[in-house]
Structure 1
Amino acid sequence: MHADDFGFGTQIRKSPYFDATVRWGAQGFSVYNHMYIPRDFGDPEQNFWNLVNDAILCDVAVERQVEITGPDAAKFVQMLTPRDLSKMAVGQCKYVLITNAQGGILNDPILLRLAENHFWISLADSDILLWAQGVAVHSGLDVQIGEPDVSPLQLQGPKSGEIMQALFGDEIMDLKYYWLREVDLDGIPLIVSRTGWSSELGYELYLRDGTQGDALWERIMATGMAFGLKPGHTSSIRRIEGGMLSYHADADINTNPYELGLDRLVNLDMEADFIGKAALKRIQAEGVRRTQVGLIIDAEPLKGPNTTFWAINKNGSEIGKVTSAIYSPRLERNIALAMVSADHAHIGTEIEVLLPSGPTCGTVVERPFYDPKKKLAAA
């Protein structure tokens, strides 16, 4: 496939790494934040083993940044999220939820604080640039909001630290989990953070000049070769093992933080007012009617992730849906994230899942399915 042969027209953007990923074997793409993202470098199971044993480099330029600057930037960013940001230091990253007035989740991004009044919101798949600009209009706050020329790569896996050391020297090794640093790689301007969407040791490299995408990709791959680095894509197997959310699948505008067990990302006691505060107080007081659970599904190994929501039944009645399912070759079982009525969310509950091939049995289990304390990523 030649890079120019691919596409639906100019309304779906190509990342600065697009040509490089095609050269390195990308065979299929998905669309995320109105951009192409590589989703196929051959066998997804091999991609998983490459990630958990060595390292993979993923084009995640689709994680668009919403840049917020100006004298009221910190106050404005706090309005967008129920997570308390009052102690967030310059150079720190935080996983946050962005909620609407009903307490529904609009996005679950990583927030980066580059300076006192300079933030990036590193997005999952929804149009938060438009939301933030809309919120700002009548806010009375002095902020500028736009999308900068910034395109992240993810370098993930147990060898990622050694590759970073080879690229940037020993000083990069003291970069702590969920912190960032401004660096330069032979004239290529970057922000580097100890974050990622893999639940493994990993880094994100935010390129601040899209014209150098090809050069950056080739430089990292050349350095990483000696450590077994492979081109890859974000691993559905690993992220479901790690219980990590995929927006539009496991959460959407009608999902609230309490249904996902993400109470730690909501601080109702802080003085700051944020969008959805009243609704989330009410939801917390009333309790939730449904909740996210992990499932083991008894069936032949699934051939890939689910492409529809599978109904879940108990005693002949529908009680929820499977939101993300995959076969884990490491755990040797089908694992899934699901949303079920709170009455049936207890560990050990046996349920029926309506697979496309027919009904089968399943069991509610603890999630995450692997490394629940996140020791690998935070090491």
Structure 2
Amino acid sequence: MKKEFSFGTQVRKSPYFDATVRWGAQGFSVYNHMYIPRDFGDPAQNFWNLVNNAILCDVAVERQVEITGPDASEFVQLLTPRNLSDCSIGQCKYVLITDANGGVLNDPVLLKLAENHFWLSLADSDVLFWAKGVAVNSGLDVELSEPDVSPLQLQGPKSAEIMQAIFGDEFNDLKYYWFKESELNGIPIIVSRTGWSSEFGYEIFLRDGSRGNELWDYIMKAGKPLGLEPGHTSTIRRIEGGMLSYQADMDCEVNPYELGLGRLVDLEMDSNFIGKDALKKINADGITRKQAGIVIDCPPLDAPNTTYWPIMIDSNKIGYVTSAVYSPRLKKNIALAMLNIDYTKINTNAEVHTTLGIFPIKVVPKPFFDPNKKIVAK
């Protein structure tokens, strides 16, 4: 029997929506006020499709904040503690956006299209509103908007072969975290060597929303003989790779040092970025908690956690699980957790109180798979 979907006008559909339904999308969730396909069947099969072949994902929910104007470069640096002085045109950077307390508001990928032209490709929070508020009081000459841009992710070991079949040699030399502007059958696009999968892959940024279904269908039909399947971002693979999910593993109450991302904070640069004083103090005082990897000794989890599970030693809460899943490749329940700094040493034992019961856990190194990121950066 055909599954019926219930949608409202207050949440947007992506330009690929109709195509994803035709290609088998069975369920959606909401991200950045937009529907995102989250179910193409068995999530374990989606994982194997990703790691063995390739999947195409509708990630138009990664909405862009476009920043232009004479002071765009200065304004972008105001938003992030990562030093962007070495960011070249055509380059991407993973950045954090912090508030006055040093908390993380978003962790987008920054694309530099021209000297004073940037996109922030967002995680799940309203950075356009934040940026507009900052701009009002900044005294800087910038323009902020959400452009007609909708990314797709083509991820997996066969993605390069599929790109070759579609574009020829055009993107063979595209380096990790760089992008090129192009077109496909007259459809304007940008292609970057990025993605939220911990696998080799590309993101294809559509610049004309009226042609979304056309672009999806073209890529799927070209890639299908090479093993391409429609899919969704894999919780299994991203946790294996230690990749963070905003609103799950971090929010504005968490700072970069607690996430192990101090490398993205430059306290010595001249820019007085938002949160600089707070982050100086946090760095000087040290942190009391830190994100860690754990394994949970219990039967295979049949779905990711939907609440934060407390982690206990005796009657003392020492932290909580933020993201947990069963990895069919590792044959383990793996999770990201925020732990009291005194309990983050590898092989520390404790218990997690889940909705299924109380189970032993052990702190382990993360990422859980491909720790040197050889797959994604090759």
Residue number in structure 1 paired with 2:30? 31
Residue number in structure 1 paired with 2:345? 346
Offset, 1:247: 0.4
Residue number in structure 1 paired with 2:358? 359
Offset, 1:166: 1.1
**Partner deviation per Cα, 1:44-102 (whole Å, 9 max, x = no partner):** 00000000000000000000000000010000000000000001000000000000000
Matches within 5 A, 1:35-54: 35-54=34-53
Contact 1:61 1:152 in 2 (8 A): yes
Distance 2:254 2:63 in 1: 22
Residue number in structure 2 paired with 1:156? 155
Residue number in structure 2 paired with 1:273? 272
Residue number in structure 1 paired with 2:214? 215
**Partner deviation per Cα, 1:233-256 (whole Å, 9 max, x = no partner):** 000000000000000110001000
Match of 2:51, SS? helix
Residue number in structure 2 paired with 1:336? 335
Distance 1:77 1:84 in 2: 10
Runs of 4+ aligned structure 1 residues displaced above 6 Å come to none
1:171 matched to 2:198: no
Distance 1:264 1:227 in 2: 38
Instruction: Tell me the amino acid that sits aligned with residue 11 of structure 1.
Output: Q
Offset, 1:126: 0.1
Residue number in structure 2 paired with 1:258? 257
Q: CA RMSD in A?
A: 1.0
1:109 matched to 2:108: yes
Distance 1:254 1:48 in 2: 31
Distance 1:196 1:8 in 2: 28
Q: TM-score, normalised by structure 2?
A: 0.99
**Partner deviation per Cα, 1:23-62 (whole Å, 9 max, x = no partner):** 1100000000000000000000000000000000000000
Distance 2:245 2:179 in 1: 23
Residue number in structure 2 paired with 1:227? 226
Distance 2:239 2:215 in 1: 29
Match of 2:89, SS? coil
Distance 1:219 1:94 in 2: 29
Distance 2:171 2:97 in 1: 31
Match of 1:172, SS? coil
Distance 1:19 1:343 in 2: 50
1:139 matched to 2:138: yes
Instruction: Tell me the amino acid that sits aligned with residue 20 of structure 1.
Output: A
Residue number in structure 2 paired with 1:245? 244
Residue number in structure 2 paired with 1:97? 96
Distance 1:97 1:109 in 2: 7
Offset, 1:188: 0.5
Offset, 1:171: 2.5
Q: TM-score, normalised by structure 1?
A: 0.99
Contact 1:291 1:342 in 2 (8 A): yes
Q: Which runs of 5+ in 1 are unaligned?
A: none
Aligned pair count?
A: 378
Contact 1:2 1:22 in 2 (8 A): no
Offset, 1:2: 7.7
Aligned-pair identity in percent equals 69
**Partner deviation per Cα, 1:144-163 (whole Å, 9 max, x = no partner):** 00000000000000000111
Cα 1:6–1:330 shift into 2, 3 Å: same
